[in-house]
Structure 1
Amino acid sequence: MNNNKNKGLYKTLFLSIAGLCLACTQALAQTINVNAATEYQTIRGFGGMNGVGWINDLTTSQLETAFGSDQGQLGLSIMRMRIDPNSANWRLQVPAAVRARQLGAILLASPWSPPAHMKSNKSLINGGKLLPEYYGDYATHLLGFADHMSRNGAPLHAISLQNEPDWHPDYESCDWNGNDFVNFLNAQGSRFGADLQVAVGEAVGFTKRFTDPVLNSPTAVQHADIIAGHLYGAVPQDYPLARSKGKEVWMTEHYTDSKNDADVWPLALDVGVELHRSMAANFNAYIWWYIRRFYSFIKEDGQVSKRGYIMSQYARFVRPGFKRIGATENPYSDVMVTAYKGPDNKIVMVVVNNGNASRNLNVNLQNATVASFVKYSTSDTLNVSYGGAYRMTNGATSFWVEPKSIATFVSEGTTTSSSSSSSVRSSSSSSSSIVSSSSRSSSSVANTGANASCTYVVTNQWNNGYTASIRITNNGTTAINGWNVSWNYTDGSRISNSWNANLTGSNPYAASGLSWNSVIQPGQSVEFGFQGTKNNNAAQAPAVTGSICR
């Protein structure tokens, strides 16, 4: 027998088996352990820059979109603005800042340059240093802006000493180093008072040589509240020294790309990856560059972009005051997870799947009890879309996250619900809810057979429209491999769009599973949803039929 031939045969067989094993490994669900008792940073918020004075101001509608937290809005909670070297222009910042604050945002102001006469080069551009003999006048200048905003109904939460002290372009800029910050704070820091937080740093690449001297100065550190930085040419990193001094760490400016449209997919998902890394690095706040730009959260026509929807997966649901809690960060090499706990003990998980395969995840929740998690996803075809509710049983549940997508899971209820065939989503008026106006209906019809229970639930309704979901729960002892259900309206209701299923027909309707949710293991459920039109009567809840739920 030819030994070389045998070796080739064995090699081929080995590689085939290895490939099958790899495929099996990829298909196995990985576990996310969430521990609500393990607490990290408090989230101050997510935000963006309003560039009035350099670009057109945000319109009233755009402000509502940016700082509102209802469906189709971003949920931003921090507005950054520029301190003009000319005090005559400060009035330009007032209208948008007032409205943002009315919508719940806090305000951060950053100067690009002191007035020219205070600088060594006597110019607003090309760097130049703030002269020490003008430290007092510069503090008065900054405090004057804060006073102007406060007197006009937009008090600041924080004020920065200098934007990008290490960048000296041919536009407004100023050159500072770490010792300059120390000297200024020692001389003038006490003037800023307890009601106005002082942000220090804002270096281009979050370079610590600008902030370490402040943190290591026993006097200057007393006057710095926020350690800030930008992420140009850098990746988020933890700042243990800042945390040890009790300082918040804010990322106050970045954009991941300014050459491509904000809807280009999957390029837009880079925002989700950076947001995850920033939260995992214990940042208290993340602030994007211009809120409205073709590459930004709101496009020039006022429409929310893919990047905007990705931001809202964090900003709408992880609200100011939430704490990041313990969670398995990388259950797969291409999946990133952070989890948060709200003041009302609401639990939120944000999962970024940066890979090309759907990922099955088992969740174990410790030191908190919730009834279910509701899923909202953004992908190439979804925009913070409802993706079903996942019941918790003995502190555990399981779900899938689609490839190249970001999903937010928001807890509902505080006790584990029973395994009843009916499913009712509780009403919520919180800013985290994807539905804010109409009350949710408890109408449901379930068909329970030997293998599965199939439940139709009206999740929301208004004068001439509704949303609903169908939950299929495998009550048997073997997996359901492929499912197909149907239903029929008798009141003229019609479906306009759907998610998490292949929908066919035009009444009766039929739905079947997608590649990632067509198999239902014993005791597990899948849920898909849809939106439609109806008459002015209550939304109908028809019976759901199919071979699995006879």
Structure 2
Amino acid sequence: MLSFILFSLLFKYCSSMATINPEIKNQIIEGFGTSTAWKGPCSSRIFKQLYGDLGYSILRIRISEHKDSPWDGWHAEVPNVKQAKSYGAQVFATPWTAPANLKVCGQDKSCPLRQDKYNDYADYLQSYVNYMKQNGAPIDILSLINEPDFKTDAYNTMNFTPDEMVKFLKTSAKRISGTKIMASESYGYSPATNDAILNDPQAAAKVDIVARHGYGFHFEPQTKVHQMGKGFWLTEFTADGQDWKSVMNLAKAINDCMTKALCNAFVYWWLHENTQNMMILDSAEQLTPKA
């Protein structure tokens, strides 16, 4: 009797109707992906599993502030870009900071970009675009900075106020070519920066994709972004935990991102890190359920 009741309930649940109207068009889905920041070159096995078997279509890489570092210099991401491209993926590159000589503090620690170095920063970013292209690993999208609204001493960052971001876009972004431009990858739901950019016609004209990260906010659409024809990407998210509850939290975040916020893309954070948190890869570089 219990089996019959359970079957009946399951049948009733599964027989619910879903109505699809092909005449209604929402956002274009650019895809899903992850980041190899600080990871170094990844194996062909990992790329086949993620970008071949599972259909990932976006890769986020990091622009190191130390171009020639043997550990994490610009060369480190070249193999990753080539592998992602071999599966038809889009690649976007994000700097966490400018080189120390362009910053107010003149050191590898958290502080703002010097305002008299805006052109130099734009030229630095352009040199990265050129470097990757010359090495057979061209990027599709250039992000101007990671989390300009988040201050921390835990790692090297660089802050932009909304007004500073607008000024940079209006005065110096014209020096960047050969790639789409993304801004501003804010830490969470921070409408101030996005609104400042979109409310200034000159600044808005320089931006192709508006991005934000998924920390500490509720998913909701950015109406003005869509009205202006800009892409709207969620470019970093982490679901903490090692259990299936965290996996379902990730699934819900992806669903809410697409159905509530009307994002065009969802990009998870690291492949893995040296903690007990379940990431896309475990310590043995095997796929976890979050993949």
Match of 2:170 in 1: 186
Cα offset for 1:270? 1.1
Match of 1:57 in 2: 41
1:26-105 matched pairs, under 5 angstroms: 27=12, 29-51=15-37, 54-68=38-52, 73-88=53-68, 89-105=73-89
Cα offset for 1:173? 0.4
Match of 1:174 in 2: 158
Match of 1:288 in 2: 268
1:72-221 matched pairs, under 5 angstroms: 73-88=53-68, 89-126=73-110, 128-170=111-153, 171-193=155-177, 195-221=178-204
Cα distance in 1, alignment partners of residues 26 and 85 from structure 2:
27
Q: Which of residues 245, 248, 252 in structure 2 aligns to 1:273? A: 252
Equivalent residue letter for 2:250: V
User: 1:32 aligns to what SS in structure 2?
Assistant: coil
Cα offset for 1:221? 0.6
User: 1:62 aligns to what SS in structure 2?
Assistant: helix
- 1:153-186 Cα shifts (integer Å, max 9, x gaps): 1111111111011122221101111111110010
Cα RMSD after superposing both structures: 1.9
User: 2:84 aligns to what SS in structure 1?
Assistant: helix
Conservation of the 8 A alpha-carbon contact between 2:41 and 2:79: no
Conservation of the 8 A alpha-carbon contact between 2:123 and 2:176: no
User: 1:176 aligns to what SS in structure 2?
Assistant: coil
1:222 correspondence with 2:208: no
Cα distance in 1, alignment partners of residues 187 and 40 from structure 2:
25
Conservation of the 8 A alpha-carbon contact between 2:125 and 2:176: no
Cα offset for 1:56? 4.5
TM-score, normalised via structure 2 length: 0.89
User: 2:105 aligns to what SS in structure 1?
Assistant: coil
User: Greater share of helix residues, 1 or 2?
Assistant: 2
- 1:184-221 Cα shifts (integer Å, max 9, x gaps): 0101222223x411111111113111111110001111
Larger Rg over CA atoms? 1
Cα distance in 1, alignment partners of residues 219 and 108 from structure 2:
30
Cα distance in 2, alignment partners of residues 291 and 236 from structure 1:
23
Cα offset for 1:304? 1.9
Q: Structure 1 residues 148 and 234, CA, compared in 2 at 3 Å: closer, same or farther? A: same
- 1:260-300 Cα shifts (integer Å, max 9, x gaps): 33xx2233111110110011121011110012356122223
- 1:287-322 Cα shifts (integer Å, max 9, x gaps): 1001235612222323221111xxxxxxxxxxxxxx
Cα offset for 1:59? 1.6
1:409-424 matched pairs, under 5 angstroms: none
Gaps of 5+ in 1: 1-22, 309-550
Conservation of the 8 A alpha-carbon contact between 1:125 and 1:168: no
Cα offset for 1:236? 2.0
Match of 2:3 in 1: none
1:358-377 matched pairs, under 5 angstroms: none
Cα distance in 2, alignment partners of residues 183 and 266 from structure 1:
43
TM-score, normalised via structure 1 length: 0.48
Conservation of the 8 A alpha-carbon contact between 1:157 and 1:196: yes
Where relative contact order (Cα < 8 A, 6+ residues apart) is larger, the structure is 2
User: 1:155 aligns to what SS in structure 2?
Assistant: coil
Conservation of the 8 A alpha-carbon contact between 1:178 and 1:210: yes
Cα distance in 1, alignment partners of residues 91 and 231 from structure 2:
15
Cα distance in 2, alignment partners of residues 224 and 46 from structure 1:
21
1:250-269 matched pairs, under 5 angstroms: 250-257=233-240, 260-261=241-242, 264-269=243-248
Equivalent residue letter for 2:191: K
Cα distance in 1, alignment partners of residues 109 and 245 from structure 2:
37
Equivalent residue letter for 2:74: W
Cα distance in 2, alignment partners of residues 296 and 35 from structure 1:
36
Conservation of the 8 A alpha-carbon contact between 1:230 and 1:252: yes
